[in-house]
Amino acid sequence: MQPFLFVAKKGEVKPHLLSHAGEEFIFVIEGEMKMQIGDAEYTLKTGDSIYFNTIQKHSILPISDVVTYLDIFV
C-alpha cells in the first residue's frame, strides 16, 4: 500500500487519463472533485470515497477551488 495525501487546486490540474496495475481507494477529506473511471463519471464531495481497479483509465478534476483527498494505491 502507498497512501498519499493530495491537495489539488482548481485550474492547476491538467485533464488527463491514466491507467496502471493495481487498485486504488480515494477518500475526500475536504472539497469536491470529478472522478472519471472508464466511461463512468462521479462527483465526490467531502466524506465520499471510491474504490476501483486502476487498469481502467481514470482521472480527477477539482470542482471546488481546493480539494484535499487521501489516495491509497495497492
Which domains does the chain carry? 2-73 (2.60.120.10)
pLDDT at 23: 97
Instruction: Find all residues with CB under 8 Å of 58, minimum gap 6, and list them.
Output: 17, 18, 19, 24, 35, 36, 37, 38, 52
pTM: 0.93
Q: Does residue 6 surpass a pLDDT of 90? A: yes
The mean pLDDT value for 64-68 works out to: 98
Strand order of the sheet with strand 66-73?
A: 2-9, 66-73, 23-30, 49-53
What are the tens digits of pLDDT across the range 33-61?
A: 999 999 999 999 999 999 999 999 999 99
Q: What pLDDT sits at residue 65?
A: 98
